[in-house]
């Protein structure tokens, strides 16, 4: 009796296992390649759609590993430690030095030279933006720069007209003061972007300096006194929100943001997010460049930084050909370009950029227009020291000490530089 039952169970288990393994066997007609990207929910859906297309087209199975921005990089760092990077991964100018420098990324130069990876439609500048030294390590999906997103309705109500491409920091403060008169209590003309690294970086580059370069912090005490001083004045005049409100809105989604909800009228953020903010709000938005600085001769100083999303391959991937094929398809295929629709700003492939420019919605048109205007002035972010992330955090922290009133302007600036001395040791 016992034996009989046992035997039956074994057979049943076997049949079950067989059934489970059938779909696995069926799916194995092409290699499985791991693909990693960062993003939010709509972007995950977009990449999922594209990945499904690619699987159907080629029989390759794409194993998808996606995350929000910071968890994506945290996970990547542990995957690097385990020698287990995704075969194809999304890369960013901020991190490419770190990964390429440590030999983790595949040198794409030979494949570009042999034509296997066709980047013939890429402008030279865009192609170069994927280089570390002379070698190509990443290929641009799209590039964009940060800008000032503003609420066009609030501007109109305050009777403000300005040139969104040539305005200066003085204009910015002046416009904020004018907005103050028509905006109700509990809302503010501008978000507190004193802690935003993109705004700081652009400001410092306008002074002929930078936030950081390979050796460390690339600006002086006086520069920071001037910059933080400007934000402190704005806070004193109620032109930007108090720090606890700013803190509360840190890292919320587009729909919950201050800009989308009319809590602030201006905010400095990545340009490719313009359409996401527009989609999240009924207010008509506009997009201006980050305010400029005038030099001694009264000439505009631009200093724009290029950001964006790029594709790289892991140095140790077993599927080089498949990875190259995927990148080819992503950056050159017209159908992909239409679906992808400039998610990360104008595509690297200039022909596709023209193609999608034909039927763009208004938010995208504004972003492309700004990108067009600043293209001659924009350049890649400088290489940062190994402790760049830590220095960036320290910048935000001491700015908070200042805004919460724990330190005076001078104290905060001095403490920041002391902390940099400590971090770099």
Per rule CB under 8 A, is residue 1 in the interface with other proteins? no
Residue from 58, 178, 389, 424 binding other proteins (CB under 8 A): 389
Q: Where are the alpha helices (DSSP H) in 197-333?
A: 197-206, 221-236, 243-248, 274-279, 320-332
Task: Please return the burial class of 321, using the count of CB atoms within 10 Å of its CB with bins 0-12, 13-18 and 19+.
Answer: exposed
CB 350 within 8 A of CB 121: yes
Which tokens is 207 given? 């002074």
Closest CA to 140 of 340, 283, 339: 340
Which of 77, 84, 237, 408 touches other proteins (CB under 8 A)?
77
C-alpha torsion sign, points 396, 398, 401, 403? negative
Site string (197-236) toward other proteins, x via CB under 8 A: ----------------------------------------
Q: Is 97 in the site for other proteins (CB under 8 A)?
A: no
Q: Which of 393, 408, 410, 411 binds other proteins (CB under 8 A)?
A: 393
Q: What Å distances lie between residue 369 and 54, 301, 364, 381, CA to CA?
A: 31, 19, 8, 21
For the chain, what is the total number of helices (H) and then of strands (E)? 18, 16
**How far is residue 219's CA from residue 208's CA, in Å, rounded to a whole number?**
9
Check residue 245 for interaction with other proteins (CB under 8 A).
yes
The enclosing H or E element of 216 equals strand 216-217
CB-nearer residue toward other proteins: 177 or 247: 247
Nearer to other proteins, 367 or 407 (CB): 407
Q: How far apart are CA 145 and CA 290, in angstroms?
A: 9
- DSSP alpha helices (H): ranges in 102-162? 109-113, 124-128, 152-157
Q: Which of 245, 225, 244 is nearest to 233 (CA)?
A: 225
Does the protein bind other proteins through residue 46 (CB under 8 A)?
no
**Which of 171, 226, 401, 414 is in the footprint of other proteins by CB under 8 A?**
401
The answer to the question of residue 63 lying near other proteins (CB under 8 A) is no
Structure token digits, residue 123: 């402008």
Q: Which of 246, 270, 317, 371 binds other proteins (CB under 8 A)?
A: 246
Residue 409 touching other proteins (CB under 8 A)? no
Task: Tell me if 411 contacts other proteins by CB under 8 A.
Answer: no
285, 163 Cβ separation under 8 angstroms: no
Q: Does the protein bind other proteins through residue 32 (CB under 8 A)?
A: no
Stretch binding other proteins (CB under 8 A), from 70-78, 220-228, 323-331, 334-342: 70-78
* Number of residues in contact with other proteins under rule CB under 8 A: 30
Contact present, 34 and 88 (Cβ < 8 Å): yes
CB of 423 to other proteins, least distance (A): 9
Query: Quick one: which of 70, 237, 295, 408 contacts other proteins (CB under 8 A)?
Result: 70
Residue from 107, 174, 226, 390 in contact with other proteins (CB under 8 A): 390
Instruction: Give the separation between CA 373 and CA 345, rounded to whole angstroms.
Output: 13
User: Does 408 help bind other proteins (rule: CB under 8 A)?
Assistant: no
Among 1, 5, 17, 81, binds other proteins (CB under 8 A): 81
Q: Minimum CB separation from other proteins for residue 400, in Å?
A: 4
Which of 58/400 has CB closer to other proteins?
A: 400
Phi, psi (deg, nearest 5) at residue 147: -150, 180
Q: Does 118 engage in binding with other proteins (CB under 8 A)?
A: no
State the pairing for strand pair 188-190/379-380: unpaired
Q: In what order do the strands lie in the sheet with 146-151?
A: 188-190, 264-270, 146-151, 285-288
Strands 264-270 and 188-190 come out as parallel
Q: How far is the CB of 81 from other proteins (least distance, A)?
A: 4
Task: Provide, rounded to whole angstroms, the least separation between the CB of residue 61 and other proteins.
Answer: 28
Among 40, 247, 328, 341, binds other proteins (CB under 8 A): 247
Residue 419 engages other proteins in binding (rule: CB under 8 A) = yes
**For other proteins, which residue of 58, 61, 64, 80 counts as binding (CB under 8 A)?**
80
Figure out which of the listed residues 45, 49, 52, 74 binds other proteins, where binding follows CB under 8 A.
74
Q: How many residues does the chain have?
A: 425
Residues that bind other proteins (CB under 8 A): 70, 74, 77-78, 80-81, 102, 104, 243-248, 250-251, 386-387, 389-390, 393, 396-397, 400-401, 404, 406, 419, 422, 425
């Amino acid at each position: 009796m016992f034996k009989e039952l046992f035997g039956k169970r074994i057979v049943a288990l076997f049949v079950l296992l067989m059934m489970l393994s059938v779909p696995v066997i069926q799916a194995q007609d092409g290699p499985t390649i791991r693909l990693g990207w960062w993003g939010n929910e709509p972007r995950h859906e977009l990449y999922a759609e594209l990945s499904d297309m690619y699987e159907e087209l080629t029989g390759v199975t794409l194993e998808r590993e996606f995350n929000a921005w910071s968890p994506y990089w945290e996970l990547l760092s542990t995957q690097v430690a385990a020698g287990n990077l995704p075969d194809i991964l999304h890369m960013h100018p901020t991190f490419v030095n770190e990964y390429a420098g440590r030999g983790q990324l595949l040198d794409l130069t030979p494949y570009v030279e042999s034509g296997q990876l066709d980047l013939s439609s890429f402008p030279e500048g865009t192609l170069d933006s994927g280089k570390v030294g002379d070698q190509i390590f990443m290929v641009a999906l799209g590039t964009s720069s940060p800008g000032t997103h503003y609420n066009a309705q609030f501007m109109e109500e305050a009777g403000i007209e300005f040139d969104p491409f040539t305005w200066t920091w003085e204009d910015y403060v002046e416009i904020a003061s004018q907005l103050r008169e028509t905006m109700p209590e509990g809302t503010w003309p501008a978000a507190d972007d004193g802690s935003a690294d993109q705004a700081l970086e652009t400001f410092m580059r306008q002074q002929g300096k930078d936030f950081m370069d390979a050796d460390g912090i690339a600006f002086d005490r006086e520069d920071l006194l001037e910059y933080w001083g400007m934000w402190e004045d704005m806070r004193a005049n109620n032109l930007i929100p108090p720090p606890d409100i700013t803190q509360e809105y840190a890292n919320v989604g587009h729909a919950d943001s201050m800009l989308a909800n009319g809590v602030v009228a201006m905010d400095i953020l990545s340009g490719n997010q313009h359409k996401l903010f527009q989609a999240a709000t009924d207010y008509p938005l506009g997009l201006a460049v980050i305010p400029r600085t005038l030099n001694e001769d009264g000439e505009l100083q631009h200093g724009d930084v290029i950001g964006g999303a790029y594709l790289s391959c892991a140095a140790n991937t077993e599927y080089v050909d498949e990875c190259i094929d995927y990148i080819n398809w992503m950056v050159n295929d017209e159908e992909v370009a239409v679906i992808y629709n400039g998610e990360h700003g104008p595509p690297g492939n200039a022909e596709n950029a023209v193609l999608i420019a034909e039927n763009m919605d208004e938010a995208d048109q504004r972003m492309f227009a700004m990108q067009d205007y600043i293209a001659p002035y924009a350049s890649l972010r400088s290489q940062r020291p190994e402790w760049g992330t830590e220095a960036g955090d320290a910048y935000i922290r001491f700015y908070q000490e200042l805004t919460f009133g724990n330190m005076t302007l001078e104290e905060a600036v001095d403490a920041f530089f002391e902390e940099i001395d400590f971090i770099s040791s």
